[in-house]
Structure 1
Amino acid sequence: MIRLFKHYIPHAVLLLGLLDLFLLVAAGELAWLTRASQAGIEVGPLRERLAPLAGFALTVWLAMIAVGVYGSEALRSMRYACARLMVAISLAIIALSLIDFLLPGLTFWRSTLLFAMVISAVLLVADRVLIGSFLGTSAFRRRVMVLGAGPRAARLRTLAERPESGFAIVSYIAMTDGEQAVEEAIARLAIHDLGRFVENLGASEVVLALEERRNALPLKDLLRIKTHGVHVNDFSSFMERETGRVDLDTLNPSWLIFSDGFSSGRMVSSAVKRLFDIAASGLLLVLASPVIVLFALLVKLDSKGPAFFRQTRVGLYGQPFQLIKLRSMRTDAEKDGAKWAERDDPRITRLGRFIRKVRIDELPQVWTVLKGQMSFVGPRPEVPRFVADLEQQLPYYAERHMVKPGITGWAQINYPYGASTEDARHKLEYDLYYAKNYTPFLDLLILLQTLRVVLWPEGAR
C-alpha cells in the first residue's frame, strides 16, 4: 500500500485510478475532435483546451470515487464496476452540463459532453476488461511472513483469505512451544537463520503476531530481519493499515502513544476543516433552505407534532449540545427514554422513512455546523445516556470525543447503521482510526463517498 496524507491506498487502486484519469483526458480530447469535425470548425491548439479537459476528467473521476468505483466489490465484479461507472459518468455529465449553463465557456459544450460520455464509458469498461483479471491476481499482493501461530496469526490468515486482501501470507513461524491456532506453522527452532529464511521466501514484510510480548519479544530475530531490508510491523499497526480501523481487541495505551497519529500538524488540519465548514455550511444553508422548508411543511402534514426534532448530544471533549433534525419519528417515540433505532422501526413515520433514506432529515444539522458545534465530517454524536453506558462497556470510547462530531464520517461510510453495543464497538474502531489519522484529504474522501451511502442507503433506518 501507498500512504497518502496518513491514509493508506492499495497499489492496485492507485494505479487503476491514475490510468482512469489519463483515459478520461483522452476521452475528452477525442470528444472535442469528433464534435469539431462534425461541426466543421478548426480544432485549435491543445493548450486552449487544457482547462476544459482537466475539468471534465477531474469531475468524472471524483464522481467515480464518490459512487464506489474503486471499492473492493467493483474491483472483483465486472458487472458491479460497470453499473457504478455508468452512474458516475451520468452524474458527472449532469454536473458539467449545469456548470456550462451557469458559467458558459468554462467547460465543454453540452453537445460535446454527449460524445465524451459515450467515449469515456467505452474506454473505462474496456480498461477493466483488459486489466481487471490482472488486478485480481497476486501481482499487487505483498508477501507477508507472520511471527506467531496463535489466535492473532489465525486472524491474519482469515484476513488474507478475503478476495479483496492486498497481501498473501507465505509462512507462519511458531515462536513458542505453546498451543498453536495455525497448524502449518514452522517451529522457530527448526530455522537456523531466520533472516536468510525470510529472504529465500521473498517476503517483503514481517508481522509480529505474538500473543504475549512481555519478555518474549524476539529482538535478535527482528534485528536480523530488519537488516535484510524487510519491513517489520506489529499486529495492531498492520491491522489498522489493512482494515482502515483500530483493532480494539489488541489495542493498548502504549501503541496509541507511540504510533504515528494525533500529530501537531492537525492544528493546521483543524483550521482548514473549520474554514471549509463555515464556507460550505453557509452556502448549503442558502441552497437547501427551500428543501428544508418544504419538508418541514410535509412533516407537519404527515403527522402531529413539531417539524423539527431537538435532542441533546455529546460533542467535542464530551460537551453537550443541541442537535436539530427534521422529525422522522412520532412525537412519543422516546417517552420511555432514548433507545436504538430498529430495522422497520414502528416509531418512524411514513414520510420519516423516506427522508431518512435520502438523508434529508440531516439537512438542519448544517446550522449546527455553522455554529461550530459539529463538523461535516466526524464521529456520529450520541445521546448522553448511550455515551455513559458505552464508556463503561467499551475501552477508549471517550477518545472519539477528541474530534468534533460530524454529519457523516469514516464509520458511517464503512459500517452499516448500528443498533447494539456490538455495532457501537465496530463503529468505534473506525471512529478511532479517523480521530487518529484525520486530514483534509481524508475528510474529502469521506465527503465524496457519502454520495455512495445516499444513493445506496444500505444501513439507513
Structure 2
Amino acid sequence: MIRKYSRVLTQLYVLTDAAGMVLVFLAAYWLKFYSGLMVKVGALPFQIYFSRTLIFIVAAILIGYFAGFYAPRRKKSLGSDIWTIFKIQTTSLVFLVGFLYAAKEVHISREFLLLFYALNLFVLSAYRIVLKQFLNRIRRKGFNKRYVLILGAGSVGREFYERLQQYPEMGYEVFGFLDDHATEHPHGYAHLKPIIGTLDDLESILQINPIDEVIIALPLDAHGKYPAIIDICDNAGAKTLIIPDYFDILPARPFFDNFAGMPMINIRDIPLDEFGNRIAKRGFDIAFSLIALLVSTPFLLIAIAGIKLTSPGPVFFIQERMGLDRKTFRMFKLRTMHIADSKTSDTQWTTENDPRRTRFGALLRKLSVDELPQFINVLKGDMSVVGPRPERPYFVEQFKRKVPKYMVKHHIRPGITGWAQANGLRGDTSIKDRIDHDLFYIEHWSFLFDLKIIARTIRKGIVDKNAY
C-alpha cells in the first residue's frame, strides 16, 4: 500500500512542512508584535512580513526537495532527519537575509527572523520525532511493511537476515531466499525464512509477489550473473541492493566515490570529509570554546593561584601530541605534577597514586580542571571539542603496532572529550575499547551525536574516578 501511494505521501510531507512553517510564522509574528513579551518598534504591515516569509518557506521546500528530504526515509535515523532540517532551515535563512540585503529592505525585524527560525527548528524537529516514533510503533505491530527477497542463502545472506531482525521498527520483512546450491538452510538456521527457489525463479516470483527490494548476497564467483539479475529487477520495478562478499572488512558506512571516471568504494570516508559538516563542526567548536573559557575563567584563576602556591614551576604544562593527519601539535594543560625532564613525561604512563603528582594537581585531575586550557587548542584549530583523545607520539608508535586500526583516529581532529571518554574509558583502561569507540564516532558522526557526548560528559559529572 505504501508503495502505491509514496508520491502522495511525499506531497503530504511537503504540504505539512509548508503548513507548519505558516503556523510558525503566525506564532512568531504574534510573539514579536502583539504578545507584549518583546519590544515592538515600527512594525511593518502584516502583508510585508508574510510575503517575505513565503520566500523563506518556498526556499526551504525547494532545498528539501532537491536534497532528497522528502524521498522515503525509512532507512534514515532520527538524528539524520533533524540534522537535515537544521541545514535546510539555516540555508533558507541565509538565502532570505541575502535577498533582504540585496533588496535593501533593512526594516524587517531581525529579532522576528531569528524567532521564526528558532521556532521552525523546534516545531519541525518535534513533528519529525513524533512522526518517526509513530511509524516505528505501527511497523513493530506489522503494518506498513516492505518486503525483501534475498538472493544467496550463504553466510552473507544469513548474516543480513539476522541483522535485519534487530530493526523491526524499519518495517522490512524477508519474503524468502533464492539459491542455486541449496534447498534448505543448514542446521541451526531453521528460524530463517525458507529457500523458495533458484535464481532462475526470480522473474516469476517478482511478477506475482509484492517484492520491494532484492538483496544480492551472492559470492564473488557469481559476479557474472549480476547484469541479468539487475535487468530482471529493473523490469519488475524492484530496487536492487548488493552486499559485497567482503562486507565484513568494510566500515559501518562505506562511501562510493568516483576516481578517474570509475566508481570505487572508499573504505575510510567519514562524514566529516564533507565540507559542510566540517564548517558546521568548526563553527560550533569556536563558539563553544569561547563560552567555555569565559564561564571557566574563575576556576582557571583559582587553579592558577593554587598551582603557584603549592609547587614551584610554570602554571601550564605543554606537551607534544599527535592530531589530525598524524601531525603533531603542542597541547596545553594546567601543570599537575612536579617538574620532570621531557623524556620522562613523554614516555611514562600516568598511574594511580603516581608519585609525580602534586597534592593540588591530583585534585585538578580528578575534577578535570587541568583540561580547560585545551579550549585554547580548539580555538587554534589543533583540536575539537569532541573527538578521539590525542596521544603522545611515543605511545602512538607502540599502539599502532599492537592495536588494529589505531591510526584511523587521526583522520579527524582530536577532542577534549569523546565517545570513549563519555563511556568511562579514561586513564588506565583498555586501548582497544577506546579505539572501538573512536571508530564508531568517526563513522557515525553527526552534530546531534556531538551534543549527546557533551551532555553525557556533563551528566556523568566532573569528577572522574579514572582520571589520575
1:259 is matched with which residue?
Answer: 265
Specify which of 204, 228, 234 is matched with residue 223 of structure 1: 228
Contact 1:413 1:453 in 2 (8 A): no
Q: Partner residue of 1:405?
A: 413
Letter paired with 1:258: M
Q: Does 1:137 align with 2:158?
A: no
Is the contact made by 1:142 and 1:204 (CA closer than 8 Å) also made in structure 2? yes
Select 2:201's aligned residue among 183, 187, 193: 193
User: 2:26 aligned with 1:29, yes or no?
Assistant: yes
> C-alpha distance in 1, partners of 2:333/2:176?
53
Q: Check conservation: 1:191, 1:197, Cα contact below 8 A.
A: no
Separation of aligned partners in 2, 1:223 and 1:390? 47
Q: Which has the higher contact order (CA 8 A, sep 6+)?
A: 1
The CA deviation at 1:245 is 4.1
Deviates more, 1:348-357 or 1:159-168: 348-357
TM-score normalized with structure 1 length = 0.56
Letter of the 2:391 counterpart: E
Name the structure 1 match of 2:450: 450
Alignment match, 2:401: 392
- Give aligned-pair identity as a percent: 18
**Pairs within 5 Å for 1:178-189:** 179=186, 182-183=189-190, 184-187=192-195
Aligned residues: 370
When residues 363 and 317 of structure 1 are mapped into structure 2, their CA distance, relative to the original with a 3 A threshold, is closer
Deviation of 1:26 after TM superposition, in Å, equals 1.4
Segments of structure 1 that go 5 or more residues without pairing to the other structure are: 1-11, 59-69, 76-80, 82-102, 248-256, 435-441
Which residue does the alignment assign to 1:382? 391
Aligned partners of 1:310 and 1:325 also within 8 Å: yes
- Per the TM alignment, residue 106 of structure 1 is displaced from its structure 2 partner at its CA by 0.9
- The 2-side partners of 1:149 and 1:281 are apart by 48
Query: TM-score scaled to structure 2, two decimals?
Result: 0.55
2:433 to 423, 429, 432: 423
Aligned residue in 1 for 2:87: none
Whether the 8 Å CA contact 1:194–1:221 is kept in 2: the answer is no
In 2, Cα distance between equivalents of 1:325 and 1:171? 59
Structure 1 residues 432 and 386: alpha-carbon distance in aligned structure 2, compared to 1, 3 A threshold:
farther
Residue ranges of structure 2 left out of the alignment (5+ in a row): 1-8, 61-75, 83-106, 256-262, 353-358
Please give the alpha-carbon distance, in whole angstroms, between the structure 2 residues aligned to 1:209 and 1:355.
49
Cα displacement string for residues 389-434 of structure 1 (whole angstroms, at most 9, x for unaligned residues): 4433454443443x3424379x749984544244245335436637
1:40-51 matches, within 5 Å, as 44-48=45-49
Per-residue CA deviation, residues 338-368 of structure 1 (Å, 9 max, x unaligned), is 3699xxxx999555555579x8564232244
User: Contact 1:239 / 1:245 at 8 angstroms: preserved in 2?
Assistant: no
Counterpart in the other structure of 1:157:
161
Q: Which letter maps to 2:137?
A: G
Retained in 2: the 8 A contact 1:173–1:185?
A: no
Q: Give the alignment of 1:238-277 within 5 angstroms.
A: 245=253, 258-259=264-265, 269=275, 273=278, 277=282
Q: Which residue pairs with 1:337 in the alignment?
A: 348
Q: Is structure 2 residue 376 aligned with structure 1 residue 364?
A: yes
Give the conservation status (yes or no) of the 8 Å contact 1:174–1:185. no
- CA–CA distance in structure 1, aligned partners of residues 158 and 292 of structure 2: 50
What's the counterpart of residue 91 of structure 2?
A: none
Alignment CA distance shift 1:169-1:32 (3 Å): same
Report how far residue 137 of structure 1 moved: 3.1
Change in CA separation of 1:130 and 1:375 when aligned onto 2, cut-off 3 Å: closer
Matched residues in 2 for 1:154 and 1:432: separation? Answer: 28
User: What letter is aligned with 1:366?
Assistant: V
- Partners of 2:320 and 2:393 within 8 A in 1: yes
Q: Which position in structure 1 is the counterpart of 2:175? A: 170
Question: Does the CA contact (< 8 Å) of 1:325 and 1:362 recur in 2?
Answer: yes
Q: Distance in 2 between matches of 1:167 and 1:356?
A: 49
Q: Bigger CA drift: 41-50 or 26-35? A: 41-50
CA distance in structure 2 between the partners assigned to 1:155 and 1:214 by the alignment:
16
Q: How does 1:433-448 map to 2 (within 5 A)?
A: 433=443, 445-446=446-447
**Structure 1 position 324, deviation (Å):** 2.4
Q: From the CA coordinates, give the structure whose radius of gyration is larger.
A: 2
Tell me which residue corresponds to 1:322: 330
**Structure 2 match to 1:299:** 303
Tell me how far apart the structure 2 counterparts of residues 311 and 269 of structure 1 sit (CA, whole Å): 30
Q: Secondary structure at the match of 2:378?
A: helix
The separation in 1 between residues aligned to 2:170 and 2:460, in whole angstroms, is: 24
RMSD of equivalent CA atoms: 5.9
Residue 205 of structure 1: aligned partner: 213
Q: Deviations over 1:142-195 (max 9, x none)?
A: 533333445544443343223554644333445545846633354475564123
For the residue of structure 2 that corresponds to 1:136, the secondary structure is: helix
Aligned equivalent of 1:146: 150
3-state SS, counterpart of residue 108 of structure 1: helix
Q: Which residue is equivalent to 2:98?
A: none
Residue 452 of structure 1: how far off its partner (Å): 3.0
| Residues in 2 aligned to 1:225 and 1:399: alpha-carbon distance in whole angstroms | 35
CA contact (8 A) 2:387 2:419 kept: no
